[in-house]
Every structure is written in C-alpha cells, then in structure tokens.
C-alpha cells in the first residue's frame, strides 16, 4: 500500500436528470501502484469510463461525484480548483481515448497539436517544443518523424494516429496514463503493435497505466492487476493470475466461459451469461448481478454482499464466498 500513486476511496458518481437519478458508480475502492498496468474490465454501462473521467475531473453536464475521495500523491483531487486541475491534467495524469479518428483536430497538423501541448505545460519555446515533439514521435515509432510533423491527421492511418495521441499524452512525462479502450477501434494487427508500444513505454518511462477495456485477451497480455466492474461496483479485484485461474465471482467466471476456446480441436458450445445488464436508473438493493447469476440466493436480492478475501490482494463481492451461508445456492445450478 505504501507505493500507491492513486487511491480511489468510496467513490460514488450520480447523474441527475429529469426522470430522477442514475447511480453510475456506487462506492468503489481501488488503488494504482507505481509503475504497474491496472486493467479495469466491464461491459458498457458498468461505470468504468465514468470512474476515470472523475479522476481526470472531466465529468460533464449532469454527472456529479456525490461521495468519496480521489487521492493522488497524498492530495484529494476532488478539492482542487479547475485552475489547479488544468496543471495536473497533462503534467501528472494524461488520458487517451478510444477513437483516434476524433481525438485529433482535423484542421491543425499533428506536429503542431503536440507542440502546443508541450509549450503550454513545460514553458518551452516553440523551437524547443518542436524538437521535443519530433523526439516523441520517433519514440512511439512513427517513421520519418520530421516529415510527418507537418502532416494533417487525415494523412495518418488509424494506428499512426493512436501512436501520435500516445506521443501527445506522454510528452509531458505524466506519472499516470489513463487509456480508455485504446485499441478497440483498431485492427488486430495494429492492436498488437499499440499494446506492445504501451508495454515498452511503461518500462522506459515508469509510467503507471490504467487500461480500461472489455477485451479479456488484452488484459491477459498486458495487465498485472485487474479490477472487474459490473453495475457501478467492483465485483472482483486481483492479480491477472487470480482473475484468470482462480476467479471468485460468478460474473468473472461467466465472462471467461463465454469466450470461445482456441487451441482445442473439439468444438465446445459457448456458455453465455443469460439476461441483460441492469438498468442503473432503478434502485438495486442487493447484488447488481443477482438477476443474471446462476447461483442466486434470497439474500443476494436483499443485501449488498461484502468483500471476501482470498489472500491479501484478491477480493470478491459475493455472498457465496461467505462460509456461513455458502452452499445454499448450489441447487440453482443447472
């Protein structure tokens, strides 16, 4: 715990609209350690992006942090003014988004956009900033960076645009990089390149990375620890090995089973998770996964489960893990 860079404590985010409120994030705790890649897995609407927008102070419109703390290097980011946050964003925490097509401004050259970021945050002259930009473009593997500096975004391919955005995000040497589905819009061969690049840069710059994704293949290949989110809560947290080999929560188990097995010759039928994700506009009393869980017990619908630990760093939020009531749900299995 001593080397935590960022700690999220009991965070709640609620969206208020005409029809009432939507509790998108419902009290979550996790931390990011120095130099690690933490994966946040969950389906759409599970609250993974909202959590990270709160860390960046970028929640817009009707969304508000209603409870909790976000501690970065000992200070609560939620108490910072917008002016202070402007300094933190970019210099300390940077973010890259899913869609490399819309993250760059189409009317400025790629080089100029990165140079502007460096000038603004590091108070360098344009000439020095340009030199640094070209250095960064080279570091992320853009060939003939000097010429590419003057290209517009439409002259870059999707993979190159994502590289340029990574260069921009890392140009001020942030300690924490939040990557929100960085490879979802890319082809598999390009995805492999970008993930390899992120791994490499992490080694080189010792940046901590939060990687948000729904792709378990990406998680297995690049993350060291994983947080599994569902319905605005953390269902399970542990090392990649914990999550993939000894999952505690039925949701995690369900996700792993619903993937086709490669390698094997025999065709095994896929085992899907039945039902649909919960509507967060409705109040959920117990476990958010109760409606889809094959082991649901009465208590699951009434009371929100506590966290149960398997070892120091592996926890799951499920009543099945409670030794005193375990076993009663078994007969639901079919």
Position 195 contacts another protein (CB under 8 A): yes
Of 86, 101, 205, 220, which one interacts with another protein (CB under 8 A)? 220
**Residue 292: CB minimum distance to another protein, A:** 8
Position 327 contacts another protein (CB under 8 A): no
**Residue 44: CB minimum distance to another protein, A:** 6
Question: Are 38 and 225 in contact, with CB atoms under 8 Å apart?
Answer: yes
Position 189 contacts another protein (CB under 8 A): yes
Which CB atom, from 121 or from 163, has the smaller least distance to another protein?
Answer: 163
Of 172, 216, 293, 318, which one interacts with another protein (CB under 8 A)? 216
Which CB atom, from 144 or from 324, has the smaller least distance to another protein?
Answer: 144
Of 32, 218, 228, 300, which one interacts with another protein (CB under 8 A)? 218
Position 274 contacts another protein (CB under 8 A): yes
Position 201 contacts another protein (CB under 8 A): no
The position carrying tokens 């599970």 is 46
Which CB atom, from 29 or from 193, has the smaller least distance to another protein?
Answer: 193
Q: Which residues contact 18 (CB under 8 A, 6 or more apart)?
A: none
Using H for helix, E for strand and C for coil, what is the string for the chain? CCCEEEEEEEEEEEEEECCEEEEEEEEEEEEEECCCEEEEECCCCCCHHHHHHHHHCCCCCCEEEEEEEEEECCEEHHHCCHHHHHHHHHHCEEEECCCCCCCCCCCCCHHHHHHHHHHHHHCCCHHHHHHHHHHHHHHCCCCCHHHHCCCCHHHCCHHHHHHHHHHHHHCCCCCEEEEECCCCCCCHHHHHHHHHHHHHHHHHHCCEEEEEECCHHHHHHHCCEEEEEECCEEEEEEEHHHHHHCCCCHHHHHHHHCCCCCCCCCCCCCCCCCCCCCCCCCCCCCCCCCCCCCCCCHHHHHCCCCEEECCCCCEEECHHHCCCCCCCCHHHCC
**Residue 192: CB minimum distance to another protein, A:** 4
Residues 34 to 73: which contact another protein by CB under 8 A? 43-44
**Residue 209: CB minimum distance to another protein, A:** 15
Which CB atom, from 76 or from 313, has the smaller least distance to another protein?
Answer: 313
Binding-residue pattern over the window 223 to 262 for another protein, x denoting contact by CB under 8 A = -----------------xx--xx--------xxx-xxx-x
Of 12, 99, 116, 215, which one interacts with another protein (CB under 8 A)? 215
**Residue 189: CB minimum distance to another protein, A:** 4
Question: Are 252 and 228 in contact, with CB atoms under 8 Å apart?
Answer: yes
**Residue 257: CB minimum distance to another protein, A:** 8
Chain residues in the site for another protein (CB under 8 A)? 43-44, 157-160, 187-193, 195-196, 199, 214-221, 240-241, 244-245, 254-256, 258-260, 262, 265, 267, 269-274, 276-277
């Amino acid at each position: 715990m001593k080397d935590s860079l960022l700690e999220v404590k009991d965070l709640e985010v609620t969206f208020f609209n005409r029809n009432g409120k939507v509790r998108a994030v419902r009290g979550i705790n996790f931390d990011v350690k120095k130099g690690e890649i933490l994966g946040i897995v969950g389906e759409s609407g599970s609250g993974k992006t909202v959590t990270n927008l709160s860390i960046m102070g970028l929640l817009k419109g009707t969304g508000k942090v209603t409870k909790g703390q976000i501690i970065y290097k000992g200070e609560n980011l939620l108490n910072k003014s917008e002016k202070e946050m402007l300094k933190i964003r970019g210099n300390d925490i940077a973010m890259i988004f899913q869609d490399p097509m819309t993250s760059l401004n189409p009317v400025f050259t790629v080089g100029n956009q990165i140079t502007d970021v460096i000038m603004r945050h590091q108070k360098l002259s344009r000439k020095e900033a340009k030199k640094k930009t070209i250095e960064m473009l080279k570091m992320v593997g853009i060939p003939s960076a000097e010429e590419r500096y003057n290209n517009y975004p439409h002259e870059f391919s999707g993979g190159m645009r994502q590289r340029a955005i990574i260069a921009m995000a890392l140009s001020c040497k942030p300690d924490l990089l939040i990557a929100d589905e960085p490879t979802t819009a890319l082809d598999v061969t390009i995805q492999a390149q970008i993930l390899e690049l992120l791994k490499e840069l992490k080694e080189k710059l010792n940046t901590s990375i939060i990687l948000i994704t729904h792709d378990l293949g990406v998680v297995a290949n690049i993350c060291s620890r994983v947080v599994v989110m569902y319905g605005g809560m953390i269902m399970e947290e542990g090392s990649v090995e914990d999550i993939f080999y000894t999952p505690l929560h039925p949701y995690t188990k369900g996700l792993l089973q619903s993937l086709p097995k490669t390698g094997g010759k025999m065709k095994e039928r896929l085992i899907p998770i039945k039902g649909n994700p919960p509507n967060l506009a409705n109040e959920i009393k117990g476990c958010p996964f109760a409606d889809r869980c094959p082991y649901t017990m009465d208590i699951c619908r009434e009371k929100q489960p506590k966290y149960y630990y398997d070892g120091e760093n592996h926890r799951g939020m499920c009543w099945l893990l409670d030794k005193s009531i375990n076993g009663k749900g078994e007969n639901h299995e079919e």
